Structure 1
Amino acid sequence: MTWILFGLLTACGSAGTSLMLKRTVALGDAVLSTIGFRLVAAVLLALVVTAAKAWHPATPAYWQTLAILMVPEIGGMLFLTLALRGGDVSRVQPIAGLLPIFVTINGILFANEIPTPLAALGIALVALGIYTVGLRRGHSLLEPLRALANHRASWYAVLSSVFWSVTPFLHKRGGAEVGPLMWSMSVAGASGVVLALAFGFVHTATLPPPPARTRWLAMVAATAVPFCLQVTTLLFALQRSQSGYVLALSSTSTLIATVGAVLLFGERGGAARIPGAALVTAGAALIALAG
C-alpha cells in the first residue's frame, strides 16, 4: 500500500503549489510565473536525478510520449493559473476535484479500469462535494449552476481538470521508459520551454517593477518546491496503482488547499466551502480504499 503514502504526498504538494501560485500570480504575470516555476523545478529535479544516479537513455517512446503530453500538461497548468488569478483558492480547488471523475471515465473508456461499487460511491461523493462548494445558507440549491455561469475562474478550473485527465496514462508510459525521477524532470523542463516558446510570439508580458520583482522571483522559486514534491510522488504512486485511484487519493489536496486558503489568506466565504471540500475528500478516500 505504498502508493497511498505517495498519493497523500502528492496531495500535499498539489495543495502547496496552488497556495503558493495564488500569491505568485498576484505579484506578476500568470504565464511568466508558470514558465518560471516549472523551469526552476526542472533544475531542482535535475540535481535530484544526478544525486540519485537516475539518468536513463532517452528512447523513441520517451520522446513521443513527452511530445504528446505537452498539450494537456500545458493546457491544464495554464487554466489552473488563470483560475487562481481570477478566483479564491477555496473556490477553485474544490472545482478541480472533478479530475478523478474525468480520469475514472477515461480509464473505463480507454484502459479497461472498471471502478468497484465502493469506488463508484466515492465518485458520487466527489461530485456532491463539488456541487456544494457553491451553496450558501439561505440561497437557492441551483446557485452552484449559476456560479459556473457567472464565475470564469470556475470554468477555468473545470477546463484544467479536462486537460489533466489524460495525463496520468501518459505519465505511466513515460515513467516506465526512464523512471519517475527523470520523467518528472523532463515534464517540468519541457513544459516550461514549450510554454516560453509558444507564448513568446503571442503573449506580451512585463516583469513587475523593481520593488516587487525580487519578491515575485522569490515566490516563483518557492512555488517550484511543492511542485517538485507533487510531480515526483505522483509518478511513484502511478507505478504502483491504477490511475483513477491515485488521482482520487491525491484529490485530498482539495481539503488541504481550501483550509489553507481560509487560515492563511483569510478568504471571505472560504469557510462555507470547507464542507464541500470535505465531501470531495471523503469520496476520494473511498475510491482509494476500493483500490
Structure 2
Amino acid sequence: MNWFVLALISSITLSLREFAVKKAGKNLSSAFMSWGLNFFMFLIILSLNIIFMNYHTITISFVWVLIIAAVLDSLATVLYLWAIKEGDLSKIIPMLCFIPVVQLFVTPVLVHEKLSLIGISGVLVVVFGSYILNMETWDGFLSPIKSISKDKSSMMMLAVACIWGVSSSFHKIGVKQTDALFWGASEIGLIALFLFPFAIWSGKDDFSFPKLKQTLWPAIFSTMTVLSYYAAIGLGPVAYVSSVRRLGVLFSMLIGILIFKEKTKRLSFAGGIIMITGAGIISLFG
C-alpha cells in the first residue's frame, strides 16, 4: 500500500473521529476527552504490539526523539483545546491549513526530504483550497490572517500549526527507527501521561468509568487515523502526506451534508474542488 492511499485512509478516519468526538464529548471537558482518547489509543496500539510481538531495541536517540515529539504534541493539544474553547471557529480553524507550509521549510532540515517544484505547488494548492473552504464570504478572505495580531485564540492556533508542522518530522524519525505500531504506542502513551494532570485539573467530576467509556469510539477512529498517518509518513514525504490529510475537512463537510443534512456555503464547494485538484497534482506529479 503506498503513502497516498494511507494518507487518504487517515483523512477519512480523521473526519469520522471528529464526528465521534462531537457526539460523545458533549458532557465531557476538552482536556478529559483528549486524555481519554490518548489513553484508549495507547491500550489499543499496545495490544496490537503484543499480539504481533512487535518489539524494538530502545536507543538513546529514539528516547530523545520520543520525548521531543510527545512534549510538542502535548503542548499543541493544550493550546488547540484552549483556542477551540475560547475562539471564533471561522477565524481559528483556517490557521491549521498552514501546517503543510511549515513542513515545507522544516522537513528538508530535520529529515532531509527533497520535494519537486510541482509537488510543492500541489501542497500550496491544497492549503489554499482548505483555507477558503472555511470562509463565509470572499469579503472575509483575509479576516483570519488579520485577526492574528489582535485575537489571542488565532495566535494560539497558528502556534499549534507551527508546532504540529515541526513535530511531524520527529514522528517520521521515530517511525523510521522502529515502525508505525511501536512508535504509536510509545508516543501516544507518553502523551496520555503528560495530559493526565490537565485532565484532573479540568474537573474531577469527569473521572468515572461511564464517562471514560464515552471516549472509546472516538479513540478507535483516532487509532486508525494515527496509525495510517504514521505508516504514510514512513513511506512518503511528510508535507505531501499532511496535505492529502487536509482532505479530511472535505470529508467532514460531505458527511455533514449527507448524514446530518447540514447546509453548506458555495465557497466550501469551491474550496473542495481546489483541494482535490491539489491532491491530484501531488499524487500524479509529486
Query: Which TM-score band applies after superposition, normalised by the shorter structure?
Result: 0.7 to 0.9
Q: Which runs of 5+ in 1 are unaligned?
A: none
C-alpha displacement of 1:78: 2.9
Counterpart of 1:72 in structure 2 is 72
Q: Helix, strand or coil: the match of 1:136? A: coil
- The change in CA–CA distance for 1:125 and 1:104 in structure 2 (over 3 A counts) is same
Match of 2:194 in 1: 194
The separation in 2 between residues aligned to 1:268 and 1:156, in whole angstroms, is 29
1:164-206 superposed Cα distances (whole Å, 9 cap, x missing partner): 1112221122123332211111111110011214x368x3423
C-alpha RMSD of the superposition? 3.2
Per the alignment, residue 230 of structure 1 pairs with: 225
Matched residue of 1:165: which SS?
A: helix
Counterparts of 2:19 and 2:82, CA distance in 1: 14
In structure 2, the CA distance between the partners of 1:94 and 1:253, relative to structure 1 (3 Å rule), is farther
TM-score relative to the length of structure 1 = 0.82
State the partner residue of 1:16. Answer: 16
Q: Deviations over 1:221-244 (max 9, x none)?
A: 111111111111122112212222
The aligned runs of 1:114-133 (5 Å cut-off) are 114-133=114-133
Which residue of the partner structure matches residue 41 of structure 2? 41
> Do 1:37 and 1:223's aligned partners in 2 also have CA atoms closer than 8 Å?
yes
Match of 2:247 in 1: 252
Letter in 1 for 2:275: V
* TM-score with structure 2 setting the length: 0.83
1:260-281 superposed Cα distances (whole Å, 9 cap, x missing partner): 3444556665675343244234
Contact 1:24 1:220 in 2 (8 A): yes
Distance 2:283 2:103 in 1: 14
Between 177-186 and 20-29, the greater mean CA deviation after superposition: 20-29
Quick check: 142-151 or 169-178, which moved more? 142-151
8 Å Cα contact 2:94/2:131 also seen in 1: no
1:141, distance to aligned residue in structure 2 (A): 4.5
**Other structure's SS at 1:166 match:** helix
* 8 Å Cα contact 1:35/1:192 also seen in 2: yes
Question: Cα–Cα, structure 1 residues 225 and 262, in superposed 2: closer, same or farther, change >3 Å?
Answer: same
Q: 2:6 maps to which residue?
A: 6
- Cα distance in 1 for partners of 2:61, 2:207 equals 44
- 1:217 pairs with 2:212: yes
Matched residue, 2:205: 207
Work out whether residues 130 and 246 of structure 2, in 8 Å CA contact, stay in contact via their aligned partners in 1. Answer: no
Deviations 1:59-95 (A, max 9, x none): 2222221111122211233334345545798886654
Contact 1:133–1:144 (Cα < 8 Å) also in 2: no
Superposed CA offset, 1:23-79 (max 9, x none): 344321111111111011100111111111112232222222111112221123333
Q: May I ask how many residue pairs the two structures share in their alignment?
A: 286
Whole-angstrom distance in 1 between the partners of 2:113 and 2:58: 29
- Please tell me the residue identity of whatever aligns with 2:133: V
Tell me how far apart the structure 2 counterparts of residues 44 and 157 of structure 1 sit (CA, whole Å).
29
Deviations 1:129-173 (A, max 9, x none): 244235435745544445667876655543322111112221122
Moved more, 12-21 or 134-143: 134-143
Residue segments in structure 2 that go unaligned for 5+ positions in a row: none
* 1:163 and 2:158 matched: no
Q: Secondary structure in 2 aligned to 1:196?
A: helix
Against the structure 1 CA distance between its residues 95 and 20, is the aligned structure 2 distance closer, same or farther, given a 3 Å change threshold?
farther
1:220 is displaced (CA, Å) by 0.8
Distance 1:207 1:88, change over 3 A: farther
Q: Does 1:184 align with 2:184?
A: yes
Instruction: Call closer, same or farther: CA 1:80–1:204 in 2, change over 3 Å.
Output: closer
2:278 corresponds to 1:283: yes
Letter in 2 for 1:136: E
Q: How many angstroms does 1:219 deviate by?
A: 3.0
Q: Secondary structure at the match of 2:185?
A: helix
The CA deviation at 1:116 is 1.8
Q: Which amino acid aligns with 2:72?
A: P
Secondary structure of the 2:54 match is: coil
